[in-house]
A and B are shown apart, each in its own frame.
Chain A
Amino acid sequence: MSTKSKSIETKTDFNQDERLKKVSKLRLLLNRPELGALGGAILVFIFFGVVAGDTGMFSAYGVLNFLDVSANLGIIAIAAAMLMIGGEFDLSIGSMIGFAGICIAIPAIYWGWPLWMSIIFAFSMAVLVGYFNGILVVRTGLPSFIVTLAMLFILRGATLAITRLITGRTQVPGLRVLIEDDPLAWIFATDTFKWVFTWLGSMNLIALRTDGSPLATGIPPSVIWFIALAIITTWILMKTRYGNWIFASGGDKNGANNVGVPVGRVKISLFIGTAVAATIFATIQVLDAGSADTMRGTLKELEAIAAAVVGGCLLTGGYGSAIGAAFGALIFGTVSMGIFYTDVDTDWFKVFLGAMMLIAVIFNNYIRKKVTESK
């Protein structure tokens, strides 16, 4: 109370006001949700720089390798983060990945559809699944944790059952030949900036194969998608009305409703977002591998949520950032690949993942208390 009356007194004192503004701007920077993940990512790079700096991890090939892994996780982590900011979970992301994979493969291989049509079909199914998740959560008021846990089993089971029913197997290979000349598949399957790598190779700046072509051929599509999604979602959160609605819906859905935010529609759209992100992930991986596997994406939902949490999202909603989730994914991807370049047994990766998440949650909790602390 005393602070309050003081603030009224200082109102006319402009020097004082300016000084306070500077302090609060510094605090604002410290309070950014992605700060922890950014710091973590820098630490991870310093660590591997010291431990594995001379092993080839930071060669062009090595960098693209861990970027590819990070980017794949990042695509779903960003969508999971958006949904978490909106106050909900989606545990069906991993199952959606498997489901989307066979939604592409079965029509393309067994029904003779062109690949582009199968891809569009998979995305349409994703919109349906996301809509269904969303409408169920919004209409019933049940925790999304339970609703999407049910969807996790339903989708995975359906994926397995349908695939075995139609193909008699659990994997659908043979997609690679269809990619060429397809009008849509290239968006998910083309390495970009090849000329840069060819040039770097010709200058002998990066490692070459025996035939003289560079070992690292181009930026994988996952990385491009990842960066594009990170930019678009950050723009949405920070700069658009819809972004404000996402924060509001997650922060206090009743309050948001009372001032006219269409909370239900916002949440449904975010559920569609996670399902679509899972399908982007699936399309990239299926086209890269040339085959769909019914078990693809298992446990990915938890990794996505972990990356979002490390990136500063609160489990209670209303706070977090997309760019933070991107850094979270970068940390996980870098460590999961980097660990191969060290003497550490790869079995320890999950230990690291868990520990990282714990530290992040404790840190985030502290930050939230700082942010909402009453004067």
Chain B
Amino acid sequence: MSDYLVQFNNISKFFGKVIALKDVTMKLKKGEIMCLLGDNGAGKSTLIKTLAGVHRPDEGEIIVEGKKTIFDSPKDALDMGIATVYQDLALVSLMSVTRNFFMGREPLKGPPFFKTFDIEKANKIAAERMGQIGIDVRDPSQAVGTMSGGERQCLAISRAIYFGAKVLVLDEPTSALGVHQASVVLKYIVKAASQGLAVILITHNVHHAYPVGNSFTVLNRGKSLGTYKKKDISREKLLSMMAGGEELNKLEVELQELNRSSAN
């Protein structure tokens, strides 16, 4: 029995001839924040969907709390405590905070066959949970559309935690946010991890990832370039790895040669 909460070992995913992911390995302990970095087209989306149970990996194994598992559907992943918060957040802006918070998992009351949605209880829990992260919803029946982007992100994360997430997979939680809002969300992510959750933070923004992450996995063209502990890698090194630093270096050299030859 390992002390990892969740392990994704040598995950590969193919779409026909296209190799979307090849031998990606990630291991997370409780309270750990792993940042998954990659540029556009690096395979982040495919990896997220594989973690969330939307795609079944073609190779590799998923081990949750020491048990090897296969996710047949997003529900399977959710039942194992792996909750994915997508970029679109799965929030309906015309619906109230409470109705969004409990969407699909409404608390019920009343006799069988006449069970009603327990709005009072739901309102109370939603307001309480949002209050815990410093977001004061004056009225939990206000529409989510009136909230700021950061507040929505926090609502989506807080909802996932309330419904028993052990591993949070966050897809670009800060990409659409301003500096202040992003820092609020990141603070909340750190707080969530400190309470014992494992967090996989998917982003292309090293400046957001570096301050909060414990370890970093860089994805490039469907392959993992390795996982590094924070002490083993600098922000600059990460940045250059992500952006295909070697390629850029090569380009620089080539350009210099070109300049020299044209000067001659």
Contact = CB atoms under 8 A, between A and B. Distances in A.
Q: Do A and B come from one complex?
A: yes
A367 to B, nearest CB: 10
B131 A11 contact: yes
A1 B150 CA distance: 9
B173 to A, nearest CB: 15
Interface string B136-159: 101101110111111100000001
Interface of B is mostly: loop
Given A1-B181, A241-B106, A375-B146, A368 B94 contact: yes
Interface in A248-282: 248, 251-252, 254-256, 258-261
Nearest to A371: B143
Nearest to A25: B139
Interface stretch (B34-42, B115-123, B206-214, B220-228): B115-123
Nearest to A259: B104
A33 to B, nearest CB: 10
A46 B237 CA distance: 75
Contact of A258 (B90, B99, B146): B90
Interface in A8-51: 8, 10-11, 17, 20-21, 24-25, 28, 31
B116 to A, nearest CB: 5
Contact of B95 (A3, A25, A248, A375): A248
Contact of B148 (A241, A254, A368, A374): A374
Interface of A is mostly: helix
B89 interface: yes
B79 to A, nearest CB: 10
A192 interface: no
A17 B145 contact: no
B92 A248 contact: yes
A190 interface: no
B99 A244 contact: yes
Contact of A247 (B99, B146, B147): B99
Q: Which bracket fits the contact residues of A?
A: 35 or more
A259 B108 CA distance: 17
Contact of A255 (B91, B178, B184): B91
A261 B180 CA distance: 33
Contacts of B131: 11
B138 A372 contact: no
Interface in B64-86: 74-75, 78, 84, 86
B196 interface: no
B93 interface: yes
A191 B142 CA distance: 43
B135 interface: yes
A239 interface: yes
Contacts of A327: none
Contact of B135 (A8, A239, A240, A314): A8
A239 B93 CA distance: 19
A63 B115 CA distance: 37
Given A24-B142, A372-B143, A7 B136 contact: yes
B191 to A, nearest CB: 15
A146 to B, nearest CB: 25
Nearest to B93: A372
A87 B193 CA distance: 38
Interface in A341-375: 368, 371-375
A258 B117 contact: no
A261 B148 contact: no
A241 B109 CA distance: 10
Interface in A315-344: 318-319
Interface of A: 1, 3-5, 7-8, 10-11, 17, 20-21, 24-25, 28, 31, 239-241, 243-245, 247-248, 251-252, 254-256, 258-261, 314, 318-319, 368, 371-375
Given A4-B181, A239-B116, A374-B146, 4 more contacts: A24-B142, A241-B108, A314-B94, A372-B143
26 contacts: A1-B180, A4-B135, A4-B181, A7-B135, A8-B134, A11-B134, A17-B136, A24-B138, A24-B142, A241-B108, A241-B115, A248-B92, A251-B92, A251-B95, A255-B92, A256-B92, A256-B103, A259-B103, A259-B104, A261-B103, A371-B94, A371-B146, A373-B146, A374-B145, A374-B147, A375-B147
